[in-house]
Amino acid sequence: MSANYRIAIVGAASLRGKELNEALGESPFAPADFVLMDDQEAIGQLESVGDEVTFIQPITPASFLHTDFTFFTGTAELTRKHWETAAHAGSTIIDLSGALDSEKDAIVLAPWIRYSANALNLQTPAVVPAHPAALMLALLLGQVRQATAVRAAFATVLEPASEHGRGAMDELHQQTVSLLSFQGLPKALYDIQIAFNATPTAGPEGKIDLQATEARVRRHYALLSAGKLPAVAIQLVHAPVFHGHTLSIGLELERAMTVEQLRQLLAANEHIEVSESDEDAPSNLTAAGQEQVLVRVRSVEDETAATHRFWLWAAADNLKLAATNAVACALEMRRLRPQGHVQ
C-alpha cells in the first residue's frame, strides 16, 4: 500500500535515525522508496531500511523534491536548518528532534492516545511525536482512568543518556572510564559528573538542559491528555545509564482496588505489559528492544487487600518507543495524503 511513497530520513546516522530505519522496515511503509540524509560526517555510510541497503546522502534543496514524508531524527539544529525546505517541497514533516515543539500550529501527537482535541489536516506544518516519558504516563494513567478517578499522581522520570544522542552516551562512557582510572572528567555536554551519579540538573556550562526536558515532558503530557487525564506532578532525573526510560509513579485512587485488579486493568491495554512477579520486574535492560511499556504494580499497604494507594514501576525502550510512535504518526497522516509522490 506504501510502495509509491518516497520517505526521507534526515539524521539517519543518529541513534533515533537507526531505530526509525528499523521501525519503518517493519511497518506498512516498508515497500516505500527511502532516502537517507545527514550532515557531512555521516555521508557515504551504509544503512539499511528493511531489506534494502543504501548510502547516506548529503542534504541539498533538491533532496526533498517529490518526498511524501520527511522524518527529522538528528540534532535540533539540523532540523531547524532544513525543515522549511522540506515543507515547501510538499513533504509531511515528522520531527523526532524536538526542534519544532514551539512552532506555530505544529501538533504533538501519539495516535495511541485519543484525548487530544488537536485536529490533523494537510495544513499542519509539522507533527512532533510525543516524548516517550509523556507517552508512557498517558498510556498508564489513561488506562487507570477507565476504572476510577485518580486523587493524586506523582512521577519521577529517570532519563538515560541515549535520549540526548550518541555524544551523551560517549560522555557517560568516558566519564566512567576516567573515574575508574582516576583521571579528569570530560564535561563537554553535561558540565557535571553523570557517571555513578543521579542528578536533576546539569552544569551551568553544559549543552544539555535537563530542566527544559522536564518541562517538555510536562507539556507533552498536558497536550496528550487535553484535560481528560489525571494531573500528575513530574520530576525528571538523569540516571547514569545508557539506555531506557524508567518511571516511578505514585497513585492515590478514588476507588479501592486490589493489586490483581489494577494489574488486569493495565494489562488490558495492548501497549502495556504487566509483570506478574518480582522475578520479571521491569528494568531498562529488560525493556531493551521492546515496543511495549513494561510495568510492575505494588500496593503501598497490604499486597492482598483492596487499597487506594499504589506504586507503579515502569520501563520502556526510549528509542524504540519514540520510533514506533513516529511511524504511528506517519500512518495517521497517510490518511490525509494522496497515494504516491507529491506534486
Residue 219 is assigned to a structural domain of this protein: yes
For residue 320, what are the CA distances in angstroms to 21, 128, 162, 317?
A: 11, 16, 11, 5
> Would 342 be classed as within a structural domain?
no
Contact 231, 275 (CB under 8 A): no
Secondary structure (3-state) at 325: helix
Nearest to 59 by CA among 91, 19, 30: 91
Structural domain tally of the chain? 2
Q: What is the CATH number of the domain that holds 35?
A: 3.40.50.720
Position 327 in a domain: yes
CATH of the domain at 298: 3.30.360.10
Residues 90 and 147 reside in one and the same domain: no
Domain containing residue 70: 6-129+323-334
**pLDDT digit of tens for each residue in the chain (343 aa)?**
445 889 999 998 899 999 999 999 899 998 988 889 887 655 556 555 655 656 678 888 888 998 999 999 999 999 999 999 999 999 999 999 999 998 888 999 999 997 765 667 767 889 999 999 999 999 999 999 999 999 999 999 999 999 999 999 999 999 999 999 999 999 999 999 999 999 999 888 889 999 999 999 999 999 999 899 999 999 999 999 999 999 999 999 999 999 999 999 999 999 999 998 878 899 999 999 999 999 999 998 877 789 999 999 999 999 999 999 999 999 998 887 655 444 3
CA distance 56 to 78: 15
Model pTM score: 0.92
